[in-house]
Structure 1
């Protein structure tokens, strides 16, 4: 289902593209009900857009153009860059709850010159995003608060809800925030257990700063710790050697899919989790690099079978196919 942010941007783009639309026309173009259209029009009005409407079944919606000017010293490309960045933040929820970001974006767009607003409207008409991984709403205030205690190195009392719905309260020493592309994670030292832990930021219920500044000894690689946590729940793991530098290997196998160790300047050892040997063999074949499976034997054999089948399939096709014409 399309998100509220996407719908409002699409609705705004349609209203800018034509003088008047009926609720039925907008509903058909957006693939929603007329009730949703009316609700989204009300949201735009709450955000400050002057959307006029005529009563009756055939009444239309019109967007009255703003005569405001951009009160910023930005040229067209700079204004476009800021607006695109806000648009992506609203879509991906990189800053938490998308409503505050979306509100800022729509307010900014009212102040843009028409030539810049039309370019953004073209994006809204053609850009689509896949459904995001579901989670609890994360407010920008919570995200900013966690970042502040990480920066200060201040011990906090953390109220947290686990995946199973169990609420706990513990003292932690916050260190870093890590964004995986889907969610934010807090990396912190659990004081009572003396162990590093990762906490999904959208499951943080409350944060109470203690006022005690602490020095974290020997901190871990926060991004690696989160990556290891994300791939720690698979029943089977493959260890492979990729003939790629560490940077290239991390592009081929993202940190959310495996953990990486450099093996010299031109090779990387990667540990990848999967449900079974066959699915891991298929994943490794799709990488398209001459990798070496170090372990286990079951995954090595799965890769061998696929490689042999590919060679035989292409060999038989060459033997039975027609000869090329001179």
Structure 2
């Protein structure tokens, strides 16, 4: 069963019933993208939860939300509420649509769950969309720790010893979830892949927040550049939006220079590999750094010219 999908659909149905006095079954089915039978089933679910949804037959008939009554909270359990929130934060490409849905969710949840969902939504930043799923209970533990400013401990696949950090923000990329945190053992800011964290637990020690970098920008630059042994920066003669549409957010950081140019920051195990990716974009460009890459361009240009001699007259 798609828990988050059915819960979101019921939220949408409730919102539609609040917007207009009467809806016919086919109208609701069309708006929700389901069959009239599914609409009837969702209406019954609202009724069992305590929402006064009336149905009438004939001309002018349809579904109507009872007027003049206080609506009870939507009775999602913890897992359903968190799964819905994670789905909205991590899988909806339209940020405005996700925000509207979260606002509806916030209005109809019980106070206890509303506090938890706000902790998650308030602790997440993103770049890109659509990523490897991780357990919602892990995300919730991390989000609470970010909100409550308490240390967390966890194991990490690339480290032999347990880690101890001050969590700041969860960041979702176009591939994965990350945690930006201050590493107490290494005395510096680090980003951690959430899918590589094990045994995540909140500790009892509270901390005073430090001056932190921009979470999404820090993680994106790390994913696209800092994790590699070689980094390169290019000036590309094309608008930033055009280049962003051509290259994955986890493969490069694209910063506008002006309306017609942008800077591209990327990294790789081999600078030739990075250069070929920028060349494949099809725009004029210049190497800004490192200097050795500019020299490498001239060497490769000579080899390319040699590979394509002038045709004989």
| TM-score normalised to structure 2 length | 0.51
Residues 263-278 of structure 1: pairs in structure 2 closer than 5 A = 263-278=257-272
Of 238, 244, 252 in structure 2, the residue corresponding to residue 250 of structure 1 is: 244
What corresponds to 1:140 in structure 2? 136
Taking the aligned partners of 1:169 and 1:181, their CA distance within structure 2 comes to 25
**Deviations, residues 164-210 of structure 1 (Å, cap 9, x unaligned):** 6x24131x221111122221111111234431111111222233334
Q: Which residue of the other structure, out of 140, 154, 159, is the alignment partner of 1:159?
A: 154
Q: 1:241 aligns with which of 230, 235, 238?
A: 235
Cα distance change, pair 203–233 in 1 and its aligned pair in 2 (3 A): closer
CA distance in 1, matches of 2:172, 2:213: 16
Aligned-residue CA RMSD (Å): 4.3
Equivalent residues in 2 for 1:52-91 (5 A)?
A: 72-73=13-14, 75-80=28-33
Distance 2:205 2:284 in 1: 52
Task: Work out whether residues 235 and 288 of structure 2, in 8 Å CA contact, stay in contact via their aligned partners in 1.
Answer: yes
Query: Residue 190 of structure 2 aligns with which residue?
Result: 197
Tell me the equivalent position of 1:207.
200
Cα pair distance change 1:247/1:153, threshold 3 Å: farther
Cα distance between partner residues in 1 of 2:200 and 2:228? 31
Flag structure 1 segments of 5+ consecutive residues without an equivalent.
1-46, 49-69, 96-131, 321-326
How much has 1:240 moved relative to structure 2? 1.0
Supply the distance in 1 between the matched residues of 2:140 and 2:134 (Cα, whole angstroms). 11
TM-score, normalised via structure 1 length: 0.49
1:216 aligns with 2:238: no
Q: What's 2:168 paired with? A: 175
Structure-1 separation of matches of 2:139 and 2:33: 26
Secondary structure in 2 aligned to 1:263? strand
1:1-40 equivalent positions in 2, closer than 5 A:
none
Task: Flag structure 2 segments of 5+ consecutive residues without an equivalent.
Answer: 3-9, 17-27, 39-82, 93-129
For residues 303 and 153 of structure 1, what CA distance do their matches in structure 2 show?
54
Question: Equivalent residue for 1:294?
Answer: 288
Equivalent residue in structure 2 for 1:279, among 256, 269, 273: 273
